[in-house]
Chains A and B, each alone.
Chain A
Amino acid sequence: MGEILQRRIKRHPILEFEEKETITFYFEGKPLKARSSDTIASALIANGIDIFGWTENGRPRGFFCAIGKCSSCLVVVDGVPNVRACITKVKDGMSVERQIGRGAVWEEKR
């Protein structure tokens, strides 16, 4: 949990960020907190999760461009694969799972 605090920027000389983490979403079944302004990607990273999925060959995958261009951040959202985590807002109650390759859910983990 300590990591979560570390990764949220607390003081910034130029910007002000919303403080509250009011949303609960589920990552691989585990409840996690997020801000209403978060995308799935920013919420995962803030929670210390860097691995968003695996390639078909078992290589870990994370985000890369964060603006919806590279499709490196694909996750399974409420059962639907190929959702770009970086440009999709996280929502209360949302279930997010790691994706393998082109659309399977990482079964072995569960």
Chain B
Amino acid sequence: MKTELLVVGGGPAGLSGAIAAAKSGVKVLLIDEGLDLGGQLVKQTHKFFGHQGFFASKRGVEIAKILKNRIEDLKVDYMLQTTLVGFYEDAAVAYSREENKTYEIDYDYVLLATGASEKFLVFKNNMLPGVYGAGAVQTLMNQYGVLPGEDFLIIGAGNIGLIVAYQIAQAGGNVRAIVEISNRAGGYEVHANKIKRMGIPILLRHTIVKAIGKDRVKGAVIAKVDDNFKVIKGTEREIVADTICLSVGLQPSIELANQLGVEIVYIPELGGHVPKRDENMRTSKRNVFVAGDLSGIEEATSAMAEGYIAGYTIAQDITRRDLSEKINKYKEELVDLRRGPFGKKIRSGLEKMGIHLPSGGYRTDLQEDFGPSGKLRAIMECHQNIPCNPCEAVCPTNAIDMGGNINGIPHINYDKCVGCMMCVMKCPGLAIFMVQEFDEYSIVGIPYEFEPLPNVGDRVILMSRDGEDVGEGVIQRVIKNRKDKTHVVYVAMEKGLEKVVRHFRVPSFEEDKIVCRCEEVTKKDIEKAIAIGFTDFEELRRYLRIGMGPCGGRTCRLITMGILAKKTGKSIEEISSMNLRPPSIPLPIDSILRGEEK
């Protein structure tokens, strides 16, 4: 096979590179080992930050489709389920799994966009099935519709950990906790807030010590750490979970770049070993380019921009046409994407390659005014400088502005806000709420992406920003958003609560779930008993008669201990020092007497 440009990797970077080059008249062959084009995008069900030019507020899965369509419209040749296995002399060798056949590819230029792989973490029993990469769990649930467990523990509160936790909840799984070794969640505050308001604990300064289980994960021991990230003895405790998701970072997949002999440098800010490249994504070899996570762990938006820059630069080389206008446009995009606080790491990483990027130049002050009480209006809880502006773009009355730069904190002009809630539905961070106060009560409109949607009139439990239950409310209106799928649910509540309520949950059967069938003890009974001070399994047993029925505690013991462990934070080992008294099943007295006779 012969091509002018060989693109390895069909994620956002590779696709954009292929699009740019093909549009400029270059013959392109794209190779990806996955089942479909899109790379990581095919599993991302959340809406992306950014601006319209880079599909802001669209979900990753939709972006993958758009890019794929462009590739097809441009008639770019691509091969799926095909791995580029090696570069030899002047030909590349690809292996197609479907055909069980290798291909030799003759190329003039190559764009490597192989992405990154998830880092592993060292702890005891980390090999057990049930310890998975967070991205792997995301792939399984969002691409194939399979949830590999019921109770999940997430390690790492960066964006991936936070996003995957939220998506597990959307798929119907329980997220027990997110464990984070540093003293703050590294991901965007808006992503962390979505988790917090659901009542999922983010345990800061904690780490995983070991996974529990013989053939597969049954739980984990976690512990607090000191300033040097060392486990503090005596703080270990168990969490019941069947799946442990590791989201402790990504590392660029540099194998092919290395084979091609381009210069590789070690820059921790970019994710470790990365190919050295210039502003046009050209490596130390004239005809070898890189883009996306391979050139530094970042985001899909920057991966696309880098892909375009590489694609147009290659096309400029091959066609000898001046494409600098297009190239510069995407360079400017990158400057803006990386200007803010979250671009700091990338900026200092690139500085080490001799690429200097400016910072600052956007609004940082938060809006103090929450608008006139009594008016139906949007409340924006977007407090970090994220390069993102769909709220400003969608507002029909121009009430919202970013202060002149996409990285600015959004402010809203309450004279202009008409309460249309378009921004609530668009905000990728689900960080905008509607509020209105009446004489007797208040309402809060909450962006909601869970199944099933509640019905008008349903009683719900109101939850605060921190996920605490703060009272009961009634569903007042449900605005369905069939296209974007971020619905707005209005809940009526006691006046004053509108300042704290940001989520709700449907009590469903959770509250009258029977734990002990023999004595008809419910989950709520147990939680109440724990709340009033019965914090030991034996005490609970005597107080509620749980486990004292004919089954001898077979059905309820573990569940009770799980609830106890969750509520008290004690380890199951600690709790398990119970005394299981004989007999284990009720025996007829005469059978015992007969036995004594012998």
A residues in contact (CB < 8 Å) with B: 6-15, 17-18, 35, 37-39, 41-42, 45-46, 50-52, 55, 59-70, 86-89
Cβ contacts under 8 Å, A67 to chain B: 34, 117, 135-136, 139
Q: Is the CB of B118 within 8 A of A65?
A: yes
Cβ contacts under 8 Å, A70 to chain B: 117, 133
A6-B150, A13-B170, A69-B117 known; A42+B45 contact, CB < 8 A: no
Q: Is the CB of B451 within 8 A of A15?
A: no
**Those of B271-296 within 8 Å (CB) of chain A:** none
Q: Is the CB of B140 within 8 A of A45?
A: yes
A65's contact among B61, B128, B135, B143, by CB below 8 Å, is which? B135
A12-B451, A66-B139, A87-B34 known; A61+B127 contact, CB < 8 A: yes
A-facing mask of B441-478, CB < 8 A → 1, else 0?
00000000111100000000000000000000000000
Expressed in whole angstroms, the minimum distance between the Cβ of A80 and any Cβ of chain B is: 9
9 A-B pairs (CB sep. < 8 Å):
A13-B485, A14-B170, A39-B144, A50-B148, A61-B127, A66-B133, A66-B135, A67-B136, A68-B34
- Give the distance in Å from the alpha carbon of A17 to the alpha carbon of B172 in the complex: 14
Q: Is the CB of B133 within 8 A of A65?
A: yes
B522 CB-CB contact with A under 8 Å: no
A45-B140, A69-B253, A89-B35 known; A9+B145 contact, CB < 8 A: yes
B355 CB-CB contact with A under 8 Å: no
Cβ contacts under 8 Å, B97 to chain A: 87-88
Q: Is the CB of B451 within 8 A of A13?
A: yes
For the complex with contacts A42-B146, A67-B135, 7 further pairs of A-B residues with Cβ separation under 8 Å are: A8-B146, A14-B449, A14-B485, A41-B140, A42-B140, A64-B131, A67-B139
Q: Is the CB of B144 within 8 A of A38?
A: yes
- Give the distance in Å from the alpha carbon of A12 to the alpha carbon of B59 in the complex: 14
In the complex, the number of residue pairs spanning A and B with C-beta atoms less than 8 Å apart equals: 124
Q: Is the CB of B132 within 8 A of A63?
A: yes
Q: Is the CB of A65 within 8 A of B451?
A: no
Question: Closest A-chain residue to B150, C-beta based?
Answer: A6
Expressed in whole angstroms, the minimum distance between the Cβ of A26 and any Cβ of chain B is: 19
A14-B45, A69-B253 known; A37+B144 contact, CB < 8 A: yes
**Those of B126-178 within 8 Å (CB) of chain A:** 127-133, 135-137, 139-148, 150, 170-172
- Give the distance in Å from the alpha carbon of A109 to the alpha carbon of B118 in the complex: 32
A13-B450, A15-B61, A38-B144 known; A59+B127 contact, CB < 8 A: yes
Expressed in whole angstroms, the minimum distance between the Cβ of A34 and any Cβ of chain B is: 10
Cβ contacts under 8 Å, A69 to chain B: 117-118, 253
- Give the distance in Å from the alpha carbon of A41 to the alpha carbon of B144 in the complex: 10
Which are the 10 A-B pairs with shortest beta-carbon distances?
A62-B129, A66-B136, A17-B145, A42-B144, A50-B129, A69-B117, A66-B139, A11-B451, A46-B146, A14-B45
- Give the distance in Å from the alpha carbon of A10 to the alpha carbon of B141 in the complex: 11
